[in-house]
Structure 1
């Protein structure tokens, strides 16, 4: 046994001494901008070695007390390979809690290596793994804060696998949090996993962290993660780890991304059109990476309107040069003589904000809000299929967002701030144009006018606002749309599969809310005594809801007018049913139109007015 252990130790020492570790890199996709955010560095032993597999390699290092030496060698090999290949974006480096306290990391060796390789610290993400028990939590937190102060970013790995990373998330507020692959695999078919990840997403939004979904292997999980609004993804569906990784997304990944989900927020630009990064694009001629600093200075001096110059390698954007930073550097004595002939790569930002032309304005704004402040001055590079197209400015982005907010406010209902008729119509038209099936639900409050007349408009406004809040709570904000037609009329566009259950829940909760607005006697009687229109004291039933639902399949309607007419007709049937049965036991009525649109209604029932 001792001989086997001695051989294992000797083999491990050989790999370390002869620098035979083989780094591989797995791309991390940023869903928001349809581009590679960066790469996670992973380590393999040489082929043919008994320690070729990473699990064997790290287990052997733990047995022989060489874990810190192995991690140090992995870190250096990964950084050198990353720099040698000139990979764009961020580098995610795995570190264990014990490694963070290694003197070789604390004494500035990594910082010196980064300077030697020309890698800015803000491009390096220290990814803390939880494969060791953390015994010195205060020490780990102090170490991570030390590295963040030096410009590094922090990621927590495998969220959901253990408890220590939840405490780290709370105390450290990392820039990235990786969701354990257990919760990602099969999420498209598992509602429990879906809601677990949704809870993680809510925490991430509060803590200004970007979530990375690990272990994406199936297209349906990929699309589900994207549609949930998770920031980033990683896994075999996107790309396998390779020593020479992909720099542009594969056709398979791009095809899955092109299955565009419909935006729920009304935008400027006309029905069905959402402003994207391409709307802000300015076609600035870039400089090649081999261009000299003197050539860059000449470009800036020749064109005073140029604030930035993008740098490309072939057709791929690799950097950005800020005018003021560049000129300030060369204003110092002897700078032109010392650096004028050297490559512009020396002074460029190696990690510019690069976005795909299809990134929406909201996605861009979110990226800038989470990015370092200098991006607000530099703006962003716009690409198409990974190739350079132009540059966009933060100033133009802010102007467009302001325009969108003014437009949204113009068409919002003043009482509830929900989208009004114009954005409702635009959203329905977008759904129809995309051929996406949905359910249109017209929501109306029964017996509202007597309540409003009896208790006053202030209490009436409370009822309307209560309904607006309930509707927003009961829909899936990622899939469904809520609009306020006016008065006590609302319109909901459902894409949730369980829309019918949600409708009954709305009816039930509204009945509870109304009961809380009435006194005990009125609640027991189901109404109150008030004057009717003839001035006679009579019993008035409590407000209830009537919901008329219409299923709209692909190709059944041409415009929002047809959908509105059919939903209005369904709502009338719901109100008729409520009057005939004195409302359902749950306190409201739901009528679901079972026919396909365009078919005649049953004898004795009015035909919907379809234009």
Structure 2
């Protein structure tokens, strides 16, 4: 695709004929609970002396080529994304969009949708990150623009939250699906209680409005451990993976240490004298083989009227959960926890599941991943409430 027409031709440091001069790199955003990548932020690199993004965009703004640069970045990224395997293209890609570009009439005139379609993509593949460092002066404008883009199918994220003066105003009026904490709030958070209290309050706020809170710029395990304790589930940063020319997943070393950090958090609450672990509530339920067909599942529920759910096993390990309400559909990613997890921890974790799976039973294993049984959400909620009430009377 040729660069957008303009009264002044785009310079070579932006476009070389039909080829954008910028390149794209990708950094994963990871779900700490499962270790899975939920999306990739797309970052741009310029040629030569303009390689660093801050230098590149500052130079483009000074020369009046902000729109041309934005279009070059998008074109380079979409070309790369279009060549990825299907499973990698499904994860949303987060694109930084400055307020002046988002409010440019050319962004909403259909050309952006056309550019996506040219590479076999649509708005549902993208999340627009509105940077908080650049303020919207017109509140009605930001409401209108974000609603229009959301109606087209784009996800909306507020980037760099906490870095500027206008964040709360922008947050209220853009109603983003994603809130990305600026790295200034993350850096050395294990050293400063003030930052910790602030982030904890933002976790509660994000949960109340069903927004996904992502911590950016995570670089150390000390930072990650505190973020986990405060309730942060999604992270991005050098600790997870550095930006790369194509999307990557965290390496085995990260996954092993992530698992250790999760275990330490899960069992931290189980040390109090009035705490109990999930193992005290386990009931061994009916199991099936992972190879069962949909018809086999239907027959099992038909022949066993009292059966509420069944766990499908591969050997001794759980592979899926089927409930009577959803049968014969299987959930191949049920919530699986170890028997040593504190009940109060599980209660909070279970309530963060998607609405359709919110009240599913929880599958319980031992430390080696061997299936032990399940607990129902009624059991969890009742027992967690009893424990909390007991603490409150002391």
Please, what TM-score do these two structures have when normalized by structure 1? 0.47
Determine the C-alpha separation between the residues in 2 that align with 1:281 and 1:98.
57
Aligned to 2:155: 153
Structure 1 unaligned segments of length 5 or more: list them. 1-8, 286-298, 306-351, 370-375, 377-393, 420-481, 491-611
Aligned to 1:63: 62
Deviations 1:272-314 (A, max 9, x none): 9899xxx9998469xxxxxxxxxxxxx99x9996xxxxxxxxx
1:161 aligns to what SS in structure 2?
coil
Structure 1 contact 35–249 (Cα < 8 Å) conserved: no
Could you tell me how far 1:234 is from its partner in structure 2?
0.7
Aligned to 1:33: 34
Determine the C-alpha separation between the residues in 2 that align with 1:83 and 1:115.
10
Aligned to 1:398: 359
Deviations 1:337-360 (A, max 9, x none): xxxxxxxxxxxxxxx997886697
Aligned to 1:243: 245
1:262 aligns to what SS in structure 2?
helix
Deviations 1:334-389 (A, max 9, x none): xxxxxxxxxxxxxxxxxx997886697854652413xxxxxx4xxxxxxxxxxxxx
Aligned to 1:126: 128
Aligned to 2:266: 262
One of 271, 275, 294 as aligned partner of 2:280: 271
Could you tell me how far 1:187 is from its partner in structure 2?
0.6
Could you tell me how far 1:119 is from its partner in structure 2?
3.3
One of 418, 429, 448 as aligned partner of 2:386: 418
Structure 2 contact 136–170 (Cα < 8 Å) conserved: no
- Per the alignment, do residues 356 and 270 of structure 1 end up closer, same or farther by CA in structure 2, a change over 3 Å counting? closer
Structure 1 contact 268–404 (Cα < 8 Å) conserved: no
2:50 aligns to what SS in structure 1?
coil
1:235 aligns to what SS in structure 2?
coil
- Per the alignment, do residues 354 and 65 of structure 1 end up closer, same or farther by CA in structure 2, a change over 3 Å counting? farther
Give the alignment of 1:143-182 within 5 angstroms. 143-182=145-184
Give the alignment of 1:222-237 within 5 angstroms. 222-237=224-239
Could you tell me how far 1:64 is from its partner in structure 2?
1.2
Deviations 1:227-265 (A, max 9, x none): 221131111011110102323444134313323112559
RMSD: 3.8
Structure 1 contact 223–257 (Cα < 8 Å) conserved: no
Structure 2 contact 21–72 (Cα < 8 Å) conserved: no
Aligned to 2:19: 18
Could you tell me how far 1:63 is from its partner in structure 2?
1.3
- Per the alignment, do residues 30 and 169 of structure 1 end up closer, same or farther by CA in structure 2, a change over 3 Å counting? same
Give the alignment of 1:485-500 within 5 angstroms. 490=394
One of 187, 190, 194 as aligned partner of 2:189: 187
Determine the C-alpha separation between the residues in 2 that align with 1:280 and 1:40.
41
Structure 1 contact 33–355 (Cα < 8 Å) conserved: no
Aligned to 2:367: none
Could you tell me how far 1:186 is from its partner in structure 2?
0.6
- Per the alignment, do residues 144 and 243 of structure 1 end up closer, same or farther by CA in structure 2, a change over 3 Å counting? same
Which one has more relative contact order, counting CA pairs under 8 Å at least 6 apart?
Answer: 2
Q: Return the index of the structure with the highest Cα Rg.
A: 1
Determine the C-alpha separation between the residues in 2 that align with 1:273 and 1:110.
53
Give the alignment of 1:421-500 within 5 angstroms. 482=388, 484=390, 490=394
1:217 aligns to what SS in structure 2?
coil
Structure 1 contact 23–42 (Cα < 8 Å) conserved: yes
Please, what TM-score do these two structures have when normalized by structure 2? 0.71
Structure 2 contact 133–160 (Cα < 8 Å) conserved: no
Determine the C-alpha separation between the residues in 1 that align with 2:288 and 2:354.
16
Structure 2 unaligned segments of length 5 or more: list them. 1-9, 299-330, 339-345, 363-373
Determine the C-alpha separation between the residues in 1 that align with 2:194 and 2:283.
32
Structure 1 contact 32–363 (Cα < 8 Å) conserved: no
- Per the alignment, do residues 361 and 282 of structure 1 end up closer, same or farther by CA in structure 2, a change over 3 Å counting? farther
- Per the alignment, do residues 243 and 409 of structure 1 end up closer, same or farther by CA in structure 2, a change over 3 Å counting? closer
- Per the alignment, do residues 250 and 103 of structure 1 end up closer, same or farther by CA in structure 2, a change over 3 Å counting? farther
Give the alignment of 1:269-418 within 5 angstroms. 270-271=279-280, 283=290, 363=349, 365-369=351-355, 376=356, 394=357, 398-400=359-361, 404-408=376-380, 411=383, 417-418=385-386
